[in-house]
Amino acid sequence: MELIDGNKIAAEVVAELKAEVASFKGRKPCIALVRVGEDPASVSYVKKKEMTAAAIGMESRVILPPESISRVELLALIDQLNNDSGVDGILVQSPMPRQIDELEVFRRIAPDKDVDGLGTMNLGKVAQDDDTGFVSCTPAGVMLLLARSGVDLKGKHVVVIGRSLLVGKPVALLALQKKAGANGTVTICHSGTANLPALTRQADVLIAAIGRPEFITADMIKPGAVVIDVGMNRVADASKKSGYRLTGDVHFPSVSPLCSKITPVPGGVGPMTVAMLMKNTVKAYRAGHPV
């Protein structure tokens, strides 16, 4: 069993971007990071994005509207950033407060600054195999992990568990694409799927993205499968100082011995998400600054 080291591969991406950004003349790429409220996970994610941007030599603008911000005020803030020529990419951290419609926010971000890849135009481009858009960061990270770990999806049965806008749908579309590294045969499973283990046992590559801790167990895995665990769940654990431990959607102790390759949690897909966000922002900068 080979462990797919997301920290190592993400560090390679960051190093590549740092070298690329160092060669740019004039201002550096800039990402606006909008975080509404004080959700602890969001605070930590935005801090990580800020630190990674700094490590690459990019600029980040962290904008912290109050949790009470109205829909109209948040949309006005996005319009302002859309019109700011000094901002290349915009990310509004999810989850957002209840009064905000997340889809409306994602759609309001200008497609050429939608570096999180969740707007209608960029998702549509993924469906059309059009590389000019931005691919949602976690699915893009999954595909790069597979590619750099020597996993070609051509002719493979890829089973995706989860149909979210954030991961399940876009990663299934990417695996299907008619291009190098993809060309997989894709099955999407979800809460309405009957006899789930019978389908997961057919997977050459299993991508788990359902947000249910340690849901995938050894009896659901075909020996020799590649398993990508997108889950990041906090589970109460009195033995830890924090009072919890992080775990994925896969029961790692029982599943890992069966796999040919598997991502750990933490240290698998997570670091890739931030690296791909920076990669998309550099791509957005390049589009506005043709060499």
Q: Is 279 a catalytic residue?
A: no
Question: How large is the average pLDDT for residues 178-184?
Answer: 97
- Burial track 53-78 (b if 16+ CB lie within 10 A, e otherwise): beebebbbbeeebeeebeeeebbebb
pLDDT at 289: 87
Cα-flanking dihedrals φ and ψ of residue 71, to 5°? -55, -45
Q: Is 113 a catalytic residue?
A: no
Residues 6+ apart with CB under 8 A from 78: 34, 90, 92, 105, 108, 109
Find the helix or strand (DSSP H, E) in which 43 lies. helix 40-56
Please state, in angstroms and rounded to a whole number, the distance separating the CA atoms of residues 153 and 3. Answer: 18
Question: How large is the average pLDDT for residues 231-260?
Answer: 93
pLDDT at 40: 86
Closest Cα to residue 149, out of 280, 2, 279, 259? 2
Band the pLDDT of 28: cuts 50, 70, 90: very high
Please state, in angstroms and rounded to a whole number, the distance separating the CA atoms of residues 268 and 8. Answer: 9
Q: Is 156 a catalytic residue?
A: no
**Tokens representing 198?**
């019978």
- Within a 10 A sphere around the Cβ of 7, how many other Cβ atoms? 14
State the helix-helix crossing angle for 40-56 and 269-288, rounded to 10 degrees.
50
Question: How large is the average pLDDT for residues 98-111?
Answer: 96
pLDDT digits (tens, 9 = 90+) for 144-173: 999 999 999 999 999 999 999 999 999 999
pLDDT at 291: 65
Q: Which residue has the tokens 């019109």?
A: 83
Mean pLDDT of the residues in the chain: 96
pLDDT digits (tens, 9 = 90+) for 33-85: 999 999 888 999 999 999 999 999 999 999 999 999 999 999 999 999 999 99
Which domains, and CATH codes, for the chain? Answer: 25-111 (3.40.50.10860), 137-269 (3.40.50.720)
Of these residues, 88, 116, 204, 229, which one is catalytic? 116
Looking at the DSSP assignment, which residues form a beta bridge with residue 63?
34
99-103: long-range pairs with CB below 8 Å, 24+: 99/70, 99/71, 100/36, 100/69, 100/71, 100/74, 101/71, 103/165
Torsion sign across C-alpha atoms 139, 147, 186, 132: positive
Q: Which residue has the tokens 């011995």?
A: 257
Contact 262, 227 (CB under 8 A): yes
Please check the confidence at residue 17 and state whether its pLDDT lies above 90: yes
Question: Between the CA atoms of 72, 75, 80 and 81, what dihedral angle is there, to the nearest 10 degrees?
Answer: 160
pLDDT digits (tens, 9 = 90+) for 186-233: 999 999 999 999 999 999 999 999 999 999 999 999 999 999 999 999
pTM: 0.96
